[in-house]
Chains A and B, each alone.
Chain A
Amino acid sequence: MVKIKRYVTADPELAFAVLLAALVYSLFAFTNPLFFTWNTGFAIMERFAVLGLVGLALTLCIIAGEIDLSIGSNAALTAVIVVRFTDSIGAVNSILLGVSVATAIGLTQGFLIACLRVRAIVLTVGTLMLLRGVALFAADEKTVMLTDFGVPDFIQSRVGVIFSPASLLVITLFVLVGLFMRYTRYGREIYAIGGARKEAVAAGVNLRRPMMIVFAVSGFCAGVGGAIIGLRSGTAQPLGLQYLLLAATVAAFIGGVSILGGKGGVIGAAVGTLTVNILNTGLVFKVTPAYEVQIYLGILLLTVIVFQILSMLYETRKQRALLLADSNRAQARVAPAGRSDPNHTSRGN
């Protein structure tokens, strides 16, 4: 019990995310007896395989203080490439091709953002459109399809109770990225440029390296996600997957990232994505149209944002009050000397 309490106080955002996931799951589990089954677990994990990677990619970007808007386009482009070339060069080769294209795109974006010193949203709003154009090209302006459905069958086959090859791959990637973020210098640099960019640069972090790593990993994750989506359904639309951005953003914010950057983590991303997936699956159980799901996701996102803003305002107010009390005390002490207090000048931000 004491241990739980320590976990909660150590990371309240994560605790909130886990609580929310459990709440959403039990809400559906209690209202629908069919929900509390292994099959539903499998369905949720299948959704996790798709959204999880994109949520992870966006989480990394937001940790670095940026947002990658082109993530859906990148995933759609990879899906198109993979599905289109699977018949001719085999699934493994086409996945390698698609994912390396996606990674290269991410790497280039990171390079441009660091070099031009523009905000990622500005550049990625352009590449969002650009990559759609490339995807339309790659797909010859139509929906591409597989002819042999052996690969989709393999990807969706059940290994273990609720896992498939796809979801196992995604879980492995989550673990790898998590270890990378936590235990390597490069991972810590990503946190540093998100939380305190100026300080990080002043301390000698080369902005270009973490930025390129973040966007390369983001492109890689979007690529693998797109490949899984494409190969699982056997089809890919060049203008598809537009819903991914909203869903992934919701997942990332539930998972505890802050728009100011430097906060959040891979576990949070996993829990956030799971929450969105449970919500999605549960709503599908109730035969909810896709647009209604969008309403719920939007409301969820805005609620999280409002909470974040309020807590931010509360924090600054508290700090200001502390600072004010400090400076008042200092002033009272040095008042006879009539010295101006340095806190007064540094207080405004």
Chain B
Amino acid sequence: MNTALAGGGVDARGFMQRHGVKVFVAAVVLLFVYFAATTPNYLTLFNVKTIIRDAALVGIMGIGLTFVTLSGNFFLLSMKETAALCIIAFALGMANDYGFVISLAGALAIAVFTGAIQGALIGIGGNPIVVTLGAAGILYGVASWWSDNLVISYPRPHDAEWLGTGSVLGVPNITIAFIVIAVIAELALRKTVFGRQVYLIGANRSTGKATGHENLSMAIKVCIVASVCCAFVAVAFSAQLSSAQANYFSSEFGSSGDFTILVIATVMVGGNSIMGGYGSTLRTSLGAIFISSVDNLMVLKGFASGARVLSVGLMIVFSIIAFAYLRRGRRSEG
């Protein structure tokens, strides 16, 4: 990578443009394997299961966001806020004894509603970043206001236990859900008309428009998909903790850094084109697992949260640089 950046000879430059990304990925993988092999307790079955379980929540949201990114609408900055509103709705439902199904339906309905509105605003020509930045403020504010900024908890043996803490044959149910959602999303993108339209509009919006596929309906659909994924994650997270608060997905809580940015990181580190049209949800899932493995490794090595946040940031920036070089090798950019 360094030789490519420094210019180097003509041949070296050409080689780096063609194979630079492969070399870079190989170097990262080698480095990772070295550290993984030399860290005790890392390559155990238990730890691998932990890694995938940790990757599940952010991965599912990442899969939802992949639809938005692939369709050429960049990303939504309101992921964690949508989840915050959904987690409050779900927990309020559970706390008021409405049962799992109605609470889940409530959370999903809110997700569909907010997703559709954001999608419509994006579709008619609003910038996705600015629209979802504003929406994020509203969603988080409403979530805090609805819950009075308090923790809502419901008693432990509840209907959603199976989703939160249950497991089948030692595999946590949330991991199974992650795999199932990943497979469904991949099939939907590859085999359905909707999936092909996502790629078409993402790759070339004017062609999409000329062939009768407006971005308006597409933006609404993909935003609903992303929001529904957020709602699902919120429900699973709430079921796990048997409680909810509006700031559960904000940076103060648990995972390193900002949850929305972490979700965006899974999409970008997985190697999806952020301009749309190129990538897959499989890449996002792998990106989520990779980020989670590195994070886990750093925890075992005793790094503090600063280093972990920094590493995710570095991964994003390097994936951008790698992608820019890959793209320059392939086609010229206008």
Contacts and interface: CB of A to CB of B under 8 A. Distances in A.
B9 interface: no
B319 to A, nearest CB: 8
29 contacts: A67-B127, A69-B77, A69-B129, A112-B321, A119-B275, A121-B74, A122-B74, A122-B274, A125-B264, A125-B316, A129-B309, A130-B317, A131-B313, A132-B313, A133-B306, A133-B312, A133-B313, A134-B310, A137-B306, A141-B305, A259-B126, A291-B144, A291-B246, A292-B144, A292-B145, A295-B137, A299-B138, A302-B135, A309-B125
A348 to B, nearest CB: 8
Contacts of B268: 122, 125-126
Interface of A: 67, 69, 112, 116-119, 121-123, 125-137, 141, 198, 238-239, 242, 245-246, 249-250, 253, 259, 289, 291-295, 297-302, 305-306, 309, 312-313
Contacts of A289: 144-145, 149
Interface residues of B, number: 56
B75 A305 contact: no
Interface of B: 74-75, 77, 121, 124-127, 129-131, 133-142, 144-145, 149, 246, 251-252, 257-258, 261-262, 264-265, 268, 274-275, 304-314, 316-317, 320-321, 324-325, 328, 333-334
B134 A305 contact: yes
Given A117-B333, A249-B130, A126 B305 contact: no
Contact of A245 (B133, B274, B309): B133
A242 B252 CA distance: 12
B140 A305 contact: no
A253 B130 CA distance: 10
A198 B334 CA distance: 8
Q: Which 4 A-B pairs have the closest CB atoms?
A: A133-B310, A130-B313, A136-B306, A298-B137
Contact of B316 (A126, A135, A245, A305): A126
A305 B121 contact: yes
A132 B258 contact: yes
B114 to A, nearest CB: 12
Nearest to A125: B264
B324 A302 contact: no
A312 B324 CA distance: 31
Given A125-B316, A249-B134, A309-B121, 5 more contacts: A121-B129, A123-B320, A125-B264, A129-B265, A242-B251
Contacts of B304: 136, 141
B125 to A, nearest CB: 5
B121 A298 contact: no
Contacts of B131: 302, 305
B130 A238 contact: no
Contact of A129 (B74, B134, B149, B258): B258
A291 B144 CA distance: 6
Contacts, number: 163
Contact of A128 (B130, B138, B258): B258
B137 A306 contact: no
Contacts of B261: 125, 128-129
Contacts of B265: 126, 129
B125 A313 contact: yes
A118 B320 contact: yes
B311 A125 contact: no
Contact of B140 (A126, A239, A291): A291
Nearest to A303: B134
Contacts of B251: 132, 239, 242
Contact of B129 (A67, A116, A130, A300): A67
B81 to A, nearest CB: 9
Contacts of A309: 121, 124-126
A133 B308 CA distance: 7
Nearest to B308: A133
A152 to B, nearest CB: 25
A198 B134 CA distance: 29
A306 B268 CA distance: 29
Q: Which of A119, A129, A238, A259 has the most CB of B within 10 A?
A: A129
B199 to A, nearest CB: 19
A126 B77 CA distance: 13
A291 B88 CA distance: 15
Contacts of B310: 130, 133-134, 136-137
Nearest to A309: B125
B128 to A, nearest CB: 9
A286 to B, nearest CB: 15
Contacts of A123: 317, 320
Given A132-B258, A133-B310, A246 B324 contact: no
Contacts of B140: 291, 294
A47 B314 CA distance: 33
B124 A238 contact: no
A19 B307 CA distance: 47
